[in-house]
Amino acid sequence: MMRQYELVERVRKYNPRVDEDLLNRAYVYAMKAHGAQTRASGDPYFSHPLEVAAILTDLKLDDATIVAAVLHDTIEDTDATHEEIERLFGKQIGHLVDGLTKIEKLDLVSKQARQGENFRKLLMAVAEDVRVLLVKLADRLHNMRTLHFVPPEKRARIAQETLDIYAPLAGRIGMQRLRDELEELAFRHLSPEAHQAISERLRDLRAKNGRAIRRVEEELTEEFAKRGIEAAVAGRQKAPYSVWRKMERKSISFEQLSDIFGFRIIVGGVEDCYRALGVVHTKWPSVPGRFKDYISTPKQNDYRSLHTTVIGPGHQRVELQIRTAEMHEIARFGIAAHALYKDAAGDEGREELAKESRAFRWLQETLDLLSHGDSPEEFLEHTRLELFQDQVFCFTPKGGLIALPRGATPIDFAYAVHTKLGNSAVGAKINGRVAPVLSHLQNGDEVEIIRAEGHIPPVAWETAVATGKARAAIRRATRESVRQQFAGLGRQIVERAFERANRVFSEDRLKAALPRLARASLEDVLAAVGRGEIYSGDVVKALYPDFTEDRKVTQTPIRPGEPGWFGVKANANVVFKAPGAGGADAIPIRGLSGDAPVSFAPIGGAVPGDRIVGILTQGEGVTIYPIQSPSLTAFDDQPERWLDVRWDIDTERRELFPARVVAQAMNEPGALGALATLIGETGANIDNISFRAHSPDFREMTFDLEVADLKHLTAVIAKLRESPLVSKVERVIG
C-alpha cells in the first residue's frame, strides 16, 4: 500500500507547488474513516482510494482531484458526511466527493433503474466539474484491475457495465489509453476463451512479422530524414478486444484482418503532418478510400490525426497515423490533457473548457436529455446510443458541419440541428436528391430537411434512428401527441358532463379546484378524464360540491336497440340519457385517424351505420361497440365508463372499419380462393382468416374484414350468399 509521503512525492514530480498539508490531512482522514474495512481480495479497503489517486497522478491532475480520489468512498462507505468533508477540506472538494457518491438508500425495484439513476447523477456532477468523471473512470479502472476477486455473477455484471458505459465514455472524452485498458479487462472477464485465443494469435503474428515491422520503421525514418522532417515512427499492434470487435462487426475471420499492425508517426507541427503524409504517399501507393483527415475535421472527443493506408513492403497493407506530440497527448489523455481542467469548476471555467474541448461540449449536450424527464432506464439507453464513437460528418445546405454516429439517418440529422426541425421533418434531400428519411448518411453528404408544420413523428422512427437525442425527442413528441388526444377526449367528456348536470363549465373555476382533483394543471385533469383515471362526475363535483346525480332506476325496462336504451343494469343506480341514439351532444367518432384515442370492439368491430356506444378504458381511450354487442353486459356495473358517441365520417377521406363475418362453405379445393375473390370484388379488405372444421363436407371460415360502412358490409354478405359454395353467412358481433 502506498505510503503517505509517496503520494505527496508522486504529485510533487509534476506540481512543485503541491499542497502537502492538504494531501496529508486527506490521507489520514480517509485511513481512519475506512478503519478495518477490507476488499474482496482481503487487502485493506484504504488501498483502493490510494490506487485511484495514483492513477490520477499519472494524468498529472491537480491537488483537489487527488484529494477527492483519496476521499471518494468515505461518504458512501463510512460514517463521514458531505457537510464534514466540506468543512474539513473545502467546498470544492466536498462537491467533487458528493458527485462521486451513489444515491443513498435509493428505493428502485429495477437494477437498471438504479444504474441509470446513479449514472444520471454522475453526469449531472460532471456538468458542474469534469474532474468528477476523471476520478470515476480511475475508480472503475482500479476496480476492473481487481475484478478477479469478485464473485463470478457480480463480476460479469460489472464487466458488461464497463464495456457498455465506462469504456465508451472514456473514449468519447478522448482518454483512449484508459479506454483500451478498460475494454481489455472487461473482454478478459466476459469472453475469457476468445481473449486467450486472440492473444495467442497476436503473439504468434508479432513473432512472425517482427522483422517486417522494423523494416517499415527504418524505411520511414530514413525517408523523413532525407526530407528534413523530424519524426518518431513506432509500430503498434491492435489489442485483442479491438481485433474481436472488428471481427464481430464485419463478420470476418482473423486471417482476413489487414490492419492488425499499424504505425504511429509523431512530428513537430501541423504542417509537418501533411509533409509526412506526402512522403508516405510518394513512397508507397495509397489504398483508395482509406484516407481520413481528423486534423481539419476533429472527432467529437477532440481526437486529431491523419489516417491513411498504403501498400507497403511485401505488398502488405500498412495503416499509419500521423500527428503532433500535442495531438498524441490529447489522443491518450483526452480532457485530462487540457490545462484548463484544473479550473473546470465554476461557470467561467466551464465556458473556457467548452471552447477548448469538443468532448466537454458533447458531455453538456448529452445532459439535455435530463431536462425532459425521461426515466432512468431511458436515460441509460439514450446515453449508450450517444457513446458510439464511429462518426460521419454531414453538412447543412448553408455549410454547417454536423457530426453523427455511423448509421445515422436524415432524422438524426434533423434532430441534431434542432428538435423542432426533427419533429416537423417529413422528407429529406441528400446531395440535392430526394431520399428516404431513414437512409444511412455517408461522410460528406449535404442534407436538406423537408418540413411540414403540425407533423408528428411516427412511432416507428424511434427504433430506426441512431442517436439518443433523436430517440428521446421522438418518444417525447409521441407522448405529447397521445396526451393531447386524451386531453381532447377528456374535454369533450367533461363538457357533456356539465351539460347533463345543467351547470356551467368554467376553465378558471376548474383551475382553482385542481388541488381537489390532485392534478397540477387543467390539461392534466382533462387528460386523466380521457384516460379514464378521473370520472367526469367528480370534476363536476369539484366545481359544484352541492351537485348530486340523479340515481333512479327506470321503472320500464327498455330492450336493447330501442330509443333511449343504454343498457339497464340489474343492480345499477344510474340511467344515462339515450346513448347510442347519436344525439347532437354525443362525442363524434371518425375512426382510427381521428383526434380522439379510439379503438373498436376486439370481436367484430363496428362500422358506420351501426348504432354505437363507447366504453372508456383506463389508459387506452374509448372502445367503440355496436349497441347490440353482448360484450357490453360486462360493463353493466360500471355506468361511469359508458359514453354517448356518434359517427362523424370524413366523406373526403375513404377510411375502412373492422367487421367480422362467418361463412359456412363446402370443403373442397379452391373454395377459399373463390370466396376471397368475391370479397375483393366488393372493394373490402381481408385482414385475417381462420378456419374450423364443421363437418367432413363443410368448413367454417371466419373473415376479419375492413369495410367502409354498414351498406358496404351488407353488400359483402350478399355477394357471399350468392356463391354456390356457401350454405350460410352471418355477421359476428361480439
Catalytically active residues, by annotation: 76-77
Q: What CA–CA distances, in Å, run from 316 to 11, 236, 568?
A: 45, 15, 87
User: 112: phi > 0 → left, psi -120 to 50 → alpha, else beta; which?
Assistant: alpha
CB 173 within 8 A of CB 360: yes
Please list the residues that pair with 662 across neighbouring strands: 702, 730
Q: Among residues 488, 711, 729, which one has the least CA distance to residue 590?
A: 488
Task: For residues 147 and 40, give the distance between their C-alpha atoms in angstroms, rounded to a whole number.
Answer: 9
Q: Say which residue the cell 523530424 belongs to.
A: 230
Amino acid at residue number 238: K
Run of H or E residues at 703: strand 698-707
DSSP string, 563-586: TT-S---TT-----S-TTS--TTS
Run of H or E residues at 599: strand 598-600
> Half-sphere exposure of residue 275, counting CA atoms within 13 Å on the CB side?
17
Q: Say which residue the cell 479550473 belongs to.
A: 343
Amino acid at residue number 668: E
CB 571 within 8 A of CB 557: no
What are the phi and psi torsion angles at 131 (to 5°)? -65, -25
Please list the residues that pair with 450 across neighbouring strands: 427
Neighbours of 36 (CB within 10 A): 7
Task: For residues 334 and 338, give the distance between their C-alpha atoms in angstroms, rounded to a whole number.
Answer: 7
- Beta pairing, strands 587-589 & 645-647: parallel
User: 110: phi > 0 → left, psi -120 to 50 → alpha, else beta; which?
Assistant: beta
- What size, in residues, is the chain? 734
Neighbours of 130 (CB within 10 A): 26
Task: For residues 181 and 144, give the distance between their C-alpha atoms in angstroms, rounded to a whole number.
Answer: 9
CB 369 within 8 A of CB 456: no
Run of H or E residues at 271: helix 270-283
Residues 6+ apart with CB under 8 A from 466: 385, 388, 404, 405, 406, 407, 408, 409, 412
Apex CA 583: angle with CA 582 and CA 587, to 5°? Answer: 70
Q: What is the CA radius of gyration of the chain?
A: 35
